[in-house]
C-alpha cells in the first residue's frame, strides 16, 4: 500500500502562506479539511495555528500524508497537485 492510501482524503498541504496562501489555508480548515501549511518564513505561517491549521517548519513535513498539495509562491505560480513530488518539481523550475 502507498502512503496516499493511508492518508485522510481531506488532508491538504498549502506551501506558501502569503496573502493568498494564508487565506486559502484558513478557508480549507474552516470547511472541514485537515490543513497543513509551510512557509519559507515560519513566523508568517505560525499565525495559522490559531485557526487550527497544522504549521510545519519543513515543507517535507507539511506534505507528508497530504492527499493534495497546493503551492502558492512567486516561483510556483499557484501550482496544485495530488502528488506532492510533482509540486516540488514544479517549484524548482
Model pLDDT for residues 35-50, shown as the tens digit of each residue: 999 999 999 999 999 9
Q: pLDDT by residue for the chain (93 residues), tens digit each?
A: 444 445 567 899 999 999 999 999 999 999 999 999 999 999 999 999 999 999 999 999 999 989 999 987 665 555 554 455 544 544 443
CB 37 within 8 Å of CB 20 = no
CB 29 within 8 Å of CB 14 = no
Stated pTM of the model: 0.72
CATH of domain 3-84: 3.40.50.720
CA-CA distance, 61 to 38, in Å (whole number)?
Answer: 9
CA-CA distance, 2 to 39, in Å (whole number)?
Answer: 26
CB 36 within 8 Å of CB 13 = yes
- Residue partners of 8: CB distance under 8 A and separation at least 6: 34, 65, 67
User: How many residues comprise the chain?
Assistant: 93
pLDDT the model gives residue 72: 75
pLDDT the model gives residue 90: 42
Amino acid at each position: 500500500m502507498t502512503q496516499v492510501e493511508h492518508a485522510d482524503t481531506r488532508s491538504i498541504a498549502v506551501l506558501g502562506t502569503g496573502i493568498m496562501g494564508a487565506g486559502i489555508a484558513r478557508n480549507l480548515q474552516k470547511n472541514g479539511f485537515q490543513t497543513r501549511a509551510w512557509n519559507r518564513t515560519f513566523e508568517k505561517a505560525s499565525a495559522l495555528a490559531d485557526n487550527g491549521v497544522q504549521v510545519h517548519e519543513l515543507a517535507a513535513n507539511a506534505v507528508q500524508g497530504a492527499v493534495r498539495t497546493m503551492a502558492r509562491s512567486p516561483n510556483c505560480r499557484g501550482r496544485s497537485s495530488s502528488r506532492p513530488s510533482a509540486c516540488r518539481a514544479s517549484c524548482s523550475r
